[in-house]
Amino acid sequence: MTFPDQSFDDAAAYTAAYFERVRAAQASVDGDRVASAALVLEEAYARRSTLFVCGNGGSASISNHLVCDHSKLIQTDTNLLPKTVSLAANIEMITAIANDISYDDVFVYQLSTLAEKGDVLMTVSSSGESENVVRAAGWARDHGMDVIALTGFSGGRSSQLATVNVHVKGDNYGVIEDVHQSIMHLLGQYIRQSRMGEEVIGERKF
């Protein structure tokens, strides 16, 4: 069974049940895998490699949000200048590829145009099975890139292609995406504070 598996007539009761699922999903995340993902990102940012990010639907929104937080916030008070690109951001390019070639290729086409060996791909997919995400991950691994996969449900093929798979145990898209968003935020905040002086951290808002 998945959540919800019954009808709720009371929004307050649904709220309590939903947030309980979010707490359980947060608790399922392996901190060591998050640490591995943070190391991959920090090393990529330090050597001025590019992080590419992709996802569909709500996961596309997380991809676009990451560009703001990791590009802008991480460089504030640090010596890092992260280069990040969301493959879900350029709707003109996405629709052209989808219309002329295939929606399955909207991410891998851009990646094959822009990426270089040593760059990093982060995929955001609750199912881990979106064909356009899987194709991008496979291409990245075949071309010397590390792949960080944020997944949920059973993990799908994305989890098998990843250098680092940060998995969220959950069976509700909203819950999984909430936790993926948190992981995106905390990775950026962790990397930022790790490059800041102790006296500065307490003076800043994160």
Q: Is residue 91 part of a domain?
A: yes
Mean pLDDT of 104-121: 98
Q: Is residue 14 part of a domain?
A: no
Residue ranges making up the domain that contains 42: 30-195
Task: Give the total residue count for the chain.
Answer: 206
Q: Is residue 39 part of a domain?
A: yes
pTM for this model (two decimals): 0.95
CATH number at residue 53: 3.40.50.10490
Instruction: Please give the pLDDT value at position 205.
Output: 87
Dist. CA 19–CA 49, nearest whole Å:
37
Q: Is residue 172 part of a domain?
A: yes
Q: How many domains does the chain have?
A: 1
Alpha helices (H) in the chain, listed in sequence order = 11-27, 31-46, 58-68, 91-100, 106-114, 131-142, 156-161, 173-194, 198-201
Q: Is residue 52 part of a domain?
A: yes
Residue % of the chain over a pLDDT of 90: 96
Q: Is residue 73 part of a domain?
A: yes
> Has residue 1 got a pLDDT over 90?
no
- Write the pLDDT tens digit of every residue in 178-201: 999 999 999 999 999 999 988 899
Buried b / exposed e over 31-53, threshold 16 CB at 10 Å, is: eebbebbbebbbebbeeebbbbb
Q: Is residue 160 part of a domain?
A: yes
